[in-house]
Structure 1
Amino acid sequence: MTSTPVYIICSPRPLVGKTLLARLLAEFLLLKDGSVACFDINLKEPSLLEYLPRITETADVGDTYGKMQLMDRLIVNDGIAKVIDLGFHAFDEFFKMTHEIGFLKEALRRRVEPIVLFVADTDRVSARSYPALQDQIPANALVTIDNEYVIRGELPRDMATGEVVRIPALPSFLRTYVDRVSFSFTDYLRNERDSSTELHQWIRRNYSVLRELELRLLAPSAK
């Protein structure tokens, strides 16, 4: 039996493109597998629930009941990939919880594979948070996301040592376009006949990158 991936998209900072990445990943998985389950843990940021309400439910890690409800959903090896859009306000509490309950060990026992996608930034909070994740998350399950819209230059050295995925920056006018709640990456690929457009190329590249990442991280466990 193959494993079930749980993608945890996170940053201790707001407005770094976390939900944009969650949307890309969720739509890619939905296109590839036909199903995906998404969990939105946000307060005031643009949230995944707004963009993909049919496949997303809200989650709360502010109390014990909410934590257990979420963990019960994530720990199941049902073959349906999970995507968590983890708001910056819940970053510390979420990883404190996973550490205290031994989530990673229990997940691996049940053939569930957590993969943490950390959206990098150059601020002090990110610089403190990343080493803390390294202490808790195995190197092969911790991926640094280099969003070029946020980081205009080199990644901080500590964040560039492991697996890195780069998301090219979109021009501002295209970013405004994809930020519309009604916009779908997959629908755009299907309906835009001109495959040479910058947005078409950007989506296809990112879907390919996500596919390659999935193969690298999950292929060994599926053997």
Structure 2
Amino acid sequence: MSATPVYVICSPTPQVGKTMIARLLSEFLLLKNGKVLSFDINLREPSLLDYLPNITETADVIDTYGKMRLMDPLIVNDGFAKVIDLGFHAFDEFFKMCEEIGFMKEAQRRRVAPVILFVADTNRVAARSYEMLRRHIPPRALITVHNEFVLRSQLPEALDRGHVLHFSALPVFLKIYINRLRFSFTGYLRQEKDSSSELHQWIRRNYTIFRDLELSLMERSS
């Protein structure tokens, strides 16, 4: 069995489009593999649980019990891809926990492939947090996400050193449209007859980004 991917979408700052990326990735994996397990570690609403309640569980890293409930399924090579929408409030505690329990090494031993998708921002907190991750996360497992709707300028040089995923910005009226709780990216692809529409192309392009990412992970673990 190839390694089971665990995607951690994270940022130490709020309002960077983290949950949108988690939604896109979760729906892509569900469409491609027929299954996915997502975890919502957020305080504010709407969160991943509100958008995808059928495949999402709530989790926390406040106490030992919460940490164990979260980590137990993440360390199993069951072919069941996992997605974690990690709220900014839990960023430091989550990665502190990972370091304390040796999560990256244990994951490698059990053929689990953690992938840290760090959603970029321009502030000092983001830069410091990214440098912290670079010291503890293998380069292949640390990927920067450039969400152009939030960060329209070029990436800060400190965050543009390795693998980068670029997500283009949508017009504001389409951004409002996809933020509706009942909106489904895959559902839109299936229902919209005009495949040349801007939103249709945007979703397909982002699904292709995730497909290529998954293929690169499979090549590494083979």
The two structures have a TM-score, normalised by structure 1, of 0.98
Contact 2:2/2:218 (CA < 8 Å) preserved in 1?
A: no
Alignment of 1:82-101 (within 5 A): 82-101=82-101
State the partner residue of 1:64. 64
State the partner residue of 1:112. 112
CA separation in 1, counterparts of 2:58 and 2:14?
Answer: 18
What displacement does 1:215 show? 1.1
Contact 1:141/1:217 (CA < 8 Å) preserved in 2?
A: no
Identity across the alignment (%): 68
* Structure 2 letter corresponding to 1:204: R
Deviations 1:170-197 (A, max 9, x none): 1100000000000000000000000010
* Aligned alpha-carbon RMSD (Å): 0.7
State the partner residue of 2:22. 22
* Structure 2 letter corresponding to 1:69: R
State the partner residue of 1:151. 151
Deviations 1:16-68 (A, max 9, x none): 00000000000000000000000000001431000000000000100010001
Deviations 1:116-164 (A, max 9, x none): 0000000111011000000111000000000001111110111111000
Partner SS, residue 195 of structure 2: coil
CA separation in 2, counterparts of 1:81 and 1:33?
Answer: 9
CA separation in 2, counterparts of 1:108 and 1:52?
Answer: 29
CA separation in 1, counterparts of 2:55 and 2:119?
Answer: 23
Contact 1:45/1:87 (CA < 8 Å) preserved in 2?
A: no
* Structure 1 letter corresponding to 2:64: T
Partner SS, residue 83 of structure 1: strand
Contact 2:9/2:18 (CA < 8 Å) preserved in 1?
A: yes
CA separation in 2, counterparts of 1:46 and 1:159?
Answer: 28
State the partner residue of 1:125. 125
